[in-house]
Every structure is written in structure tokens, then in C-alpha cells.
Structure 1
């Protein structure tokens, strides 16, 4: 498995998942995510039965981590995006979901390439700081500096210390933080 390729896919698909929240009608995002989850479950069922599903089979074969349940990360990513689209304001949901797409990919790649100081859960200081910095820079194009710093810090800490899959945790805690802390 090519971790760099996996993270490129994470970044591209994650950004596309976040971009759905930019559709002017907020209900559309929830419907698209729900349809995506249902379609994903149908493809997963077919894959588990040994059926060949074009594109899905190639993605799972090329980018799924060894020993991982097929599509788990994608399912969690879309499920957390669906939750965010229902619970948070559209602008908050967008920042929350985009935070996962960017921080996770950048932190992983930077950690693999430059990581020298392991801090928590096998993650590196260099990866976490890189993810934080790049995410903050990107978020500054969408929101104010306090919200960008808050979202980036919360995302980096959540990704670093959470014992639960970060695809579930990061968008939820970023969305909650931006909702509860008056930063925007």
C-alpha cells in the first residue's frame, strides 16, 4: 500500500466531500451524503460477497490499509460529514469537514517524510505541526484568523490524542468548538 497515494486520495475526496457543503441549499448536502452512504454500503456488500465492483475494487486494492475493513475510513468520513451537515451551520460544517481532509493528509505525509519526534499514538510532532500550519493557512481563505487558529488547533489535538478513528472525531470536535466558542 502506497501511503502517499492513499493520502492524496484522502485529500482529494475529502475536499470534494467538504465542497458539497458549499451547495446553496443546505439540505442537498445531507441528501448527497446519505445517498453516498447507502451507495457505499451496497458496494461494500457486493465486495464482501466477492463480486467485482469496478473502481471500488481498484480503490480498495490500491489504497486500503492492510487488514483494514474495506471502506471503513470512507464510510466514517461521509458519516461524520452527514452528521456535521445536520447539526452545524453550513459554514461551520464546511470548515469542520475540510479540517479533516487537509490536516489528516498533511500530518500523515509530513510525519512519514520529516517525522523524528514521536509524541502520542505513533504520531510525530513534525506531522502534527505541519498539519496544523497548512490547515490554518487554508482556513484563512475561508474564515477569520481566530476561527482558523481555533479550528486548526482543535483538529490537530483531536487527531493526535483520539483513540477513536479520526475520520469520526475531527469534524465533530471542530464543529462543536466553532459552535460553542464565539470565534466567528
Structure 2
């Protein structure tokens, strides 16, 4: 059951990640649309803490871990997308979203269920997952930036993702704001975007 749930959750992650790429690529979504979507999503999540909203509750039960803030994965992903669009040129922003969409999902699926070598920096991550995530992420990013830039940014972003930064600054990470800022969905776009801007 856990395996099916996690695979389903990550497939959904890929689905809405690619949807963001298409909507931004074809100029259907601007940053204002993303901010409004974040506001609406946050309001729905807060309401979901007290009330079971029929359609929303089905999504939360099928695609969100029960021990987290309602919709946390989708909301932090959207925060990462907003940072990418706000801080970087369009090709870099799209490449960054592809890295987040593909790299994070495949690293979790492969790492959790099909890997054996644990990451020495984080017991919850596996070397195989990080490598597969980086490779697939770079293939997606190549649609918008050069192959070498895509590979370097994807590889380093996945290494950073594999390190639990929250443990390194344990005191700060207990505060909810740092829990959001240090989420993989926010860290990966920032790291990948800065690298692509520098390269």
C-alpha cells in the first residue's frame, strides 16, 4: 500500500509539474496567476484543517501524506515554481521546473523502492535514486538549456536535495517558516536556477 501510494503521489507530482511547464511556456500563466493560485490553495488548505471538503479531501487522501499540513507538497511546489519564474529568465525557469518535476519524483521512487546503497549524508536517501533523478531531470532540462548546463545543474541540485539541510540547522528548522523555505520543492529550484544563471 505504501509503495502504491508513494508512486501515485509522485506521478501526480510529475503531472502538475509538467502542467506548470506548459502553462508558463505558452504564456497562459504569468507570475500573477501563480500568486493567486498560491493564495487560493493556502486558503483551501487552512479550511481543510477543520472541514472535509468533498473533492479536496479525496485528493488529500490519495496524493498527500497524512502527517503533513494539507496540500503541503503541492503548495511548496508552487512556491518553488514562483521563485523560478520571479528570479530567472524564462528558459532557465522552465528548465528549473523540469528539474524539480522529474528529478525530485524519480529520485524518491527509485531511491525508496529500487535502491540499496544509502547516502552517507542522509539515511533516508539512496545513491541510485539521486543518480537516476539527476539523469532524468537533465533530460527534461535539456529542452530549454544546453545539455552540459542541464546535467551540471540537475546533478548538483539532486545532491543538495539528498542532504537533509533541516538537520544541519536543527534549531531553526523547528520553526514552520524554515520548514517551508528548506523544503525540497523550494531548495531545488533555487539551487538549479542559480547554477544555470552562473554557467
Equivalent in the alignment of 2:186: 168
Equivalent in the alignment of 1:31: 32
Taking only aligned residues, the RMSD between alpha carbons, in angstroms, comes to 1.7
Give deviations 1:104-135, integer Å, cap 9, x for gaps.
11111111232101113210011111111111
List 4+ stretches of structure 1 deviating above 6 A. Answer: none
Equivalent in the alignment of 2:150: 148
Instruction: Return the alpha-carbon distance in structure 2 between the equivalents of residues 69 and 42 of structure 1.
Output: 12
Give deviations 1:36-88, integer Å, cap 9, x for gaps.
101102211221221x3243211111121131111112111111211221111
TM-score for the superposition, normalised by structure 1 = 0.89
Equivalent in the alignment of 1:118: 118
Local SS of the residue matching 2:30: helix
Per-residue deviation at 1:23? 2.8
Local SS of the residue matching 1:123: strand
Count of residue pairs the alignment pairs up: 178
Confirm or deny: 8 A CA contact 1:18 1:81 kept in the other structure.
Answer: no
Confirm or deny: 8 A CA contact 1:162 1:169 kept in the other structure.
Answer: no
The aligned runs of 1:3-152 (5 Å cut-off) are: 3-24=6-27, 28-50=29-51, 52-119=52-119, 120-121=121-122, 122-152=124-154
Instruction: Return the alpha-carbon distance in structure 2 between the equivalents of residues 54 and 19 of structure 1.
Output: 28
Instruction: Return the alpha-carbon distance in structure 2 between the equivalents of residues 142 and 85 of structure 1.
Output: 14
Per-residue deviation at 1:162? 4.3
Bigger relative contact order, structure 1 or 2 (CA pairs below 8 A, ≥6 apart)? 1
Local SS of the residue matching 1:55: helix
Confirm or deny: 8 A CA contact 2:157 2:191 kept in the other structure.
Answer: yes
Confirm or deny: 8 A CA contact 2:95 2:142 kept in the other structure.
Answer: no
Unpaired runs of 5+ residues, structure 2, are: 166-181
